[in-house]
Every structure is written in structure tokens, then in C-alpha cells.
């Protein structure tokens, strides 16, 4: 049985410098959204009331999804692109434990499924898979930020010698931002470093 959670070993991962932490803890996420919107007010400009409500609803949906899927790190980017269009993107880190089955690329391929495009990546922590997919999934709250589709990229990185797989997931709302998303997801999973345990200590 696969479960989500934090692995029993220490790790480090780095997201893009200009993306902001999206807090998801029940006691802090509402204040976090208020601060995030305040910090980005100058960059986004004065939004009509309807667009501001849509943006807040979209961020609330991101928090809810993170809470439901066991995300341990959530990042968000709010900006305007080169065409002065509103941009909202998300990056998230989750961990999956398949014990007693060891984590490997075969398991990662099973988790990635048959949909989308899948390719292998080499990372300092081991081989990974990158899966891309575009879904025709109109989200009313995402209307100002996209083209009516959800463009996603997911990187699966099984940690050798353990039953744990890291999953970095990114989403954007426009097709012309999908290539950038692939790059960011690849860089983020490539930054993962796992702290090896002392000799004789077996990871479960």
C-alpha cells in the first residue's frame, strides 16, 4: 500500500528564487495568502474585484489540494508575463512510500501511468522520470490566468536503497508557459539532496 508523508531521512531541495512559499498549515494558510497578495500588489497592478476574488479562490484551491495530497512544500508564482498577462504557477513537493516494495524507475513508471509524455532525467540523487500532460479542465477561478487548460509537469525521483519516491509537480495555465514549467520542475528535482544514513542503518 502506498502512503504519503515525510521520509525518515533528511533532505534538501531548492525551488526558484522568485517563487513564494505557499503555507498550507491549517493555522497559518489564510494569513499567508493575505501576505502573498499584499506583497504582489505592485507587480500585479490593481485587479478588478472579480479577478481578485478569482485569484484568491485559485490560491485557496491550491492550499486545499496540497492538504489533501500530503504536499510537504508548496511554492507559487504570481506575476505578469512579457505580454502583460496574469501568470499564476505552482510547484509542489510530495513523498510517497511504497514499503515493502523498493523505490526504483519501474515503480516510478507505474506511478506515472500511461497518459502524457514521459522521459528519463539524470539527477545527482539518481535517475528520475519527467511526465508532461495537458488537460482540458476549465477552472472558473483560473480564467484570468490561462487558456482553459491545465498544463502540468511531474518529476518522479525514487531514492535508491529506500522505498521512498519524491514527486515534484508543477502547473501553469497557458501552453506558452509549459516549456518554462518543464525547466523549473527539472531543476527543482535535480536540486534534491538526500542525507545518507550512517553505515549499518537501514532505511525502511
The candidate with the shortest Cα–Cα distance to 89, out of 181, 192, 24, is: 181
Give the DSSP letter of residue 67: H
> For residue 86, what pLDDT is reported?
84
CA distances from 99 to 3, 12, 59, 162, 164 (A): 9, 22, 33, 8, 8
HSE-up of residue 188 (Cα within 13 Å, Cβ side) = 28
> For residue 140, what pLDDT is reported?
58
> For residue 83, what pLDDT is reported?
84
Listed as ranges, residues in the chain with pLDDT below 50 are 199, 201-204
- The sign one gets for the Cα dihedral 185, 187, 190, 195 is negative
Give the DSSP letter of residue 91: E
Asked whether the beta carbons of 176 and 87 are under 8 A apart, the reply is: no
Q: State yes or no: cis peptide before 100, omega within 30 of 0.
A: yes
Task: Give the C-alpha separation, 109 to 123, whole Å.
Answer: 16
> For residue 144, what pLDDT is reported?
67
Contacts of 8 (CB under 8 A, 6+ apart): 203, 204
> For residue 199, what pLDDT is reported?
46
Asked whether the beta carbons of 144 and 110 are under 8 A apart, the reply is: no
To the question of domain 3-194 being in CATH 1.10.10, the answer is: no
Instruction: State the cell numbers at 76.
Output: 507559487
> For residue 175, what pLDDT is reported?
87
Bridge-partner residues for 127, per DSSP?
A: 122
> For residue 193, what pLDDT is reported?
96
Amino acid at each position: 500500500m502506498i502512503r504519503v508523508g515525510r521520509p525518515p531521512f533528511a533532505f534538501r531541495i531548492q525551488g526558484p528564487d522568485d517563487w513564494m512559499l505557499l503555507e498550507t498549515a491549517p493555522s497559518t494558510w489564510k494569513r499567508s495568502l493575505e501576505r502573498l497578495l499584499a506583497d504582489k500588489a505592485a507587480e500585479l497592478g490593481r485587479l478588478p474585484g472579480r479577478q481578485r476574488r478569482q485569484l484568491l479562490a485559485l490560491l485557496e484551491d491550491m492550499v486545499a489540494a496540497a492538504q489533501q495530497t500530503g504536499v510537504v512544500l508548496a511554492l507559487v508564482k504570481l506575476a505578469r508575463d512579457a505580454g502583460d498577462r496574469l501568470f499564476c504557477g505552482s510547484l509542489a513537493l510530495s513523498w510517497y512510500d511504497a514499503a515493502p516494495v523498493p523505490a526504483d524507475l519501474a515503480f516510478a513508471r507505474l506511478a506515472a501511468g500511461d497518459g502524457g509524455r514521459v522521459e528519463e532525467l539524470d539527477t545527482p540523487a539518481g535517475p528520475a522520470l519527467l511526465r508532461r500532460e495537458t488537460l482540458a479542465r476549465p477552472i472558473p477561478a483560473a480564467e484570468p490566468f490561462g487558456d482553459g487548460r491545465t498544463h502540468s509537469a511531474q518529476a518522479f525521483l525514487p531514492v535508491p536503497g529506500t522505498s521512498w519516491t519524491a514527486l515534484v509537480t508543477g502547473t501553469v495555465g497557458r501552453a506558452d508557459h509549459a516549456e518554462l514549467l518543464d525547466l523549473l520542475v527539472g531543476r527543482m528535482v535535480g536540486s534534491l539532496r538526500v542525507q545518507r544514513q550512517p553505515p549499518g542503518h537501514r532505511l525502511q
